[in-house]
Structure 1
Amino acid sequence: MTAEQTKRSILLVDDDANDRELAQIVFAELASESGERADVRILPGGQEALDFLVDQAERPEQLPDVVLLDLNMPQIDGLSVLKAIRQNPAMSTLPVVILSTSRERADVQRAYSLGANAYVVKPLDYDHFHRTISSVLDFWTGQNQVNR
């Protein structure tokens, strides 16, 4: 593989400090297991995510390969972030995976209606969380072809 193929760029947006810490551990373990280093950015809220993405959209090659987006966040929630992403032509095709604890049918339907590429319920136990993140990243940063 070339350096370009192995370069993974991931944006995780989650307001829960415990979930962010757990994700950091999983990302580090996955990098250790695969030998590939990912460019991982973890942000605590919707406004921070939008600020970052709008800045990156000026250089589309610097947009992340995938955004893992929590729904329930204060100030700007995940659905509002998703809507803003889809309305911005420079990032409208950016893969967005909702990663939420909500199993509510209305949340799932709304996320898909706003253009989510996938909706994944956050597993509660560590091993399941690790497997889930691994499979999501394997697809979105390994197998999926980015449209840039």
Structure 2
Amino acid sequence: MGLTFLLIEDDEIERLKFARVLQKNKYNHTLLEAENGEKALELLESHKELPDLIFLDLNMPKMNGLEFLKILKSNPALRYTPVVILSTSNNHNDLKESYEIGIAGYIVKPLKYEDYAHKIKCLIEYWDVNELIKR
């Protein structure tokens, strides 16, 4: 049985790239998608099963990644869901604040698809063997 991922990303091309990496590597994981933090919160509230892992972009309209993260981590039912930031931002303040709020990792998205695919593959393989807290 695979893991369930929630990808929160406003850019459709980025969502397609992520799904392509899963498909090309024949990962048996479920991918849920939300285009911003508000939609992600709606999905989390309405979904029976919570994701095992959330991949979160920082720069999004309506509710940015840090705002979403603060809400997520203040919710007792969601607080322990691991979150990995996938962002184009290599701003040290974003990095520091994300870790202070409680993320599990921070990845700067590379421009080249091959580099991106390699980073996502490494992330997924790590979480495949990691001992996740199951609800």
> TM class by shorter-chain length?
over 0.9
| 2:5 corresponding residue in structure 1 | 10
SS at match of 1:139: helix
The reply on whether 1:109 has 2:128 as its aligned counterpart is no
Per-residue CA shift, 1:26-63, capped at 9, x if unaligned?
Answer: 121122xxxx421111211111111111223xx4xx21
Report the Cα distance in structure 1 between the residues aligned to 2:36 and 2:25, rounded to whole angstroms: 24
State the one-letter code of the partner of 2:20. Answer: I
Provide the TM-score with structure 1 as the length reference. 0.86
Q: Could you tell me which residue of structure 2 aligns to residue 80 of structure 1? A: 67
Whether 2:83 is the aligned partner of 1:96: answer yes
Select 1:132's aligned residue among 115, 119, 124.
Answer: 119
SS in 2 for 1:68: strand
Matching residue of 2:21? 26
Equivalent positions of 1:61-76 (< 5 A) are 62-76=49-63
What CA distance in whole angstroms lies between the structure 1 residues aligned with 2:80 and 2:34?
20
For the residues of structure 1 that align with 2:122 and 2:69, how far apart are their CA atoms?
22
Aligned counterparts of 2:114 and 2:70: Cα–Cα separation in 1: 32
Q: What is the CA distance between 1:23 and its match in structure 2? A: 1.3
Counterpart of 1:81, as a letter, is F
TM-score, length basis structure 2: 0.93
Structure 2 residue 40 is the aligned partner of structure 1 residue 54: no
How many equivalent residue pairs? 134
Q: Distance in 2 between matches of 1:109 and 1:116?
A: 10
Task: Classify the secondary structure of the residue corresponding to 1:7.
Answer: coil
* Deviation for aligned residue 1:21: 1.6
Q: Give the whole-Å Cα distance in 2 for the aligned partners of 1:54 and 1:137.
A: 25
Give the helix-richer structure, 1 or 2.
1
For the aligned residues, what is the CA RMSD?
1.2
Tell me whether 99-108 or 10-19 shows the greater mean CA deviation.
Answer: 10-19
5+ residue gaps, structure 1, are 1-5
